[in-house]
Structure 1
């Protein structure tokens, strides 16, 4: 992988990633007149649950569903300057112009009085563009291009883990308007949180309790059980297993686990990165064959926290969709939104059967 760094007009960092052996990349000059980024991001703690809530009101002005010829993630061209100041690119990552967390926060005065807890939303948010092809998707990438995205995630995880105050690095992709996407260009994001989010904490607490009781890894035993049962396995290869979880919350949900415990993306071997690209593209193709239109989804990487519980964590990707049938969506209604208690629409075993039948 080749890496080239540059700077956007407002001081944000941009990094081009190219396959090894590509022509040398010359970083472009961002000719836009942009004010330097400053945010008022803050975090407030819900004292009832202990969870942190980020408040970033400046995001209300972010770009929303522009037409294709005004896409800010496409390469720049004559008379049309975008977030990427080159005429082409393979994969590119840059600081989000409208971040939820930032190292450039202004005017946030910390509060800690026993009931109200507030501090600046210090961290970093990045955009990762998977391809310069506006009409493509992750699922349409070649295995080589998908592998380059994996290498980009790993590189960004290494860099963001070294940022002062960052506790968790979370690469993810939202695909489809049904999932809240505001830009149609194939891309994902990375949040570098200044705390360990609640779901990650709960998984690690379960793993800690299981190890104390059995002396074994909860994640490892889940993988072993799913492989042995086979009923919910969708695809697998030498390094990875993809399966519908036993207690799937979403009408379509697949988890991807490496067969060997790895804490995070940077720790994956070359063979494991190649194998992930293959099995992931396989499952994404199955997703898109299920219905008459492409499947909306969220793909969420669960990595070890930066400073704690790295011996407990087991890297995995959770892929899920709110689509519960042709033209039908699952909404988080009373039970899910009010109490966090999910009610599944499709049996996990039925999900697995559908996805296996959707194979090439």
Structure 2
């Protein structure tokens, strides 16, 4: 399958890409006739000497759109007298540059660690850099209501193709060190628009979490000759106690040391470094198992469950490609029908998690959850 991609430019110069389903009837891209407004100036990166981490400061995001009504949603198709971010009357999947980006729109390299520069001249300028990078919005459907779990396999496949396309193209941009594909779902997570969509961040540095996991993967490969996540996958499939679903090319399980009340990892059986390396059969398979996992998560309670779905792809310039293994992590802070897990003292200050439920209990509940939702539940 080859998803058709059409490119255009919005009035202010931002890129917009239209990804069409195999049997699409959506109209071709149209011109954005809104008055061209100046794009926000780029933010700033500030280096934390105590942790060795870059922190993005993007004050212009304070004015971003917040939970608009459906009639004012900027992700819905444009209509006469009501232009939106997407200048067509209908579409399948659309990706465009975020109007309020945390990173970008400039591209370029940033130093990995400016401590030496700071040691030579202790100043604010030694610890700052332009917030280079790219932030994109991925809109899953022209329908305002619904979620990724509601997508049929054909549409889910189009979204996966869009993720793969953007992962490949963004990784080739100047200064990009990591491409992060993710979806925030639910106001409890901090979503500012309820229209079904996700995002992509292309960072000019390797993120702190990935620095840790990549180092452990590289150490494991040196010591055993095997990729770490491959051993984890074999461990979970062998045990079976925490498995939720298994398809021809993917396994979904609750990890042994799950941090969150709901946490599911979806891991490909074949070692790949990124979404763009999945072949057609794997993408078709993922388009089935991924929404089914989300439907089971939603069926745990009487109302939709908030979650973060995070694709962990290998850094662009990883030290040992043979140690990396892409996977998806879905996490939710929902620990009961009307209770959320908040990151308090131990988790927020020390990074030491305390689990509220066991991985085995969560996996058993997800296995028992019917994948089909009753009408009117969303």
Pairwise TM-score range, normalised by the shorter structure: over 0.9
How far residue 24 of structure 1 moved from its aligned partner, in angstroms, is 7.7
**Partner residue in 2 for 1:77:** 79
Looking at structure 1, the residues matched to 177 and 355 of structure 2 have their Cα atoms a distance apart, in angstroms, of 32
- Selected match of 1:282 from 273, 278, 292: 292
Structure 1 unaligned segments of length 5 or more: list them. Answer: none
1:29 partner SS:
coil
**Partner residue in 1 for 2:150:** 140
Alignment of 1:190-269 (within 5 A): 190-269=200-279
1:284 partner SS:
helix
Q: Tell me the TM-score normalized by structure 2.
A: 0.92
2:309 partner SS:
strand
Number of residue pairs matched? 356
Aligned CA-pair RMSD = 1.5
Contact in 2 for aligned 1:17/1:148 (Cα 8 Å): yes
**Partner residue in 1 for 2:345:** 334
**Partner residue in 2 for 1:47:** 49
Contact in 2 for aligned 1:38/1:104 (Cα 8 Å): no
Say yes or no: does 1:348 pair with 2:359.
yes
Please, which moves more after superposition, 308-317 or 347-356? Answer: 308-317
Looking at structure 1, the residues matched to 211 and 48 of structure 2 have their Cα atoms a distance apart, in angstroms, of 16
Say yes or no: does 1:150 pair with 2:157.
no
How far residue 229 of structure 1 moved from its aligned partner, in angstroms, is 0.4
Please, which moves more after superposition, 122-131 or 43-52? Answer: 43-52
Contact in 2 for aligned 1:56/1:100 (Cα 8 Å): yes
Contact in 1 for aligned 2:40/2:60 (Cα 8 Å): no
Give deviations 1:103-150, integer Å, cap 9, x for gaps. Answer: 348xx9xx8423651100100000000001101110000011001100
Contact in 1 for aligned 2:42/2:105 (Cα 8 Å): no
Looking at structure 2, the residues matched to 24 and 359 of structure 1 have their Cα atoms a distance apart, in angstroms, of 33
Contact in 1 for aligned 2:310/2:329 (Cα 8 Å): yes
1:278 partner SS:
helix
How far residue 34 of structure 1 moved from its aligned partner, in angstroms, is 3.3
Contact in 1 for aligned 2:178/2:315 (Cα 8 Å): yes
**Partner residue in 2 for 1:18:** 20
1:93 partner SS:
strand
Say yes or no: does 1:313 pair with 2:318.
no
Structure 2 unaligned segments of length 5 or more: list them. Answer: 372-378
1:220 partner SS:
helix
Q: Tell me the TM-score normalized by structure 1.
A: 0.96
- Selected match of 2:183 from 154, 162, 173: 173
Contact in 2 for aligned 1:253/1:320 (Cα 8 Å): yes
Looking at structure 1, the residues matched to 333 and 234 of structure 2 have their Cα atoms a distance apart, in angstroms, of 28
How far residue 3 of structure 1 moved from its aligned partner, in angstroms, is 0.5
Looking at structure 2, the residues matched to 253 and 31 of structure 1 have their Cα atoms a distance apart, in angstroms, of 44
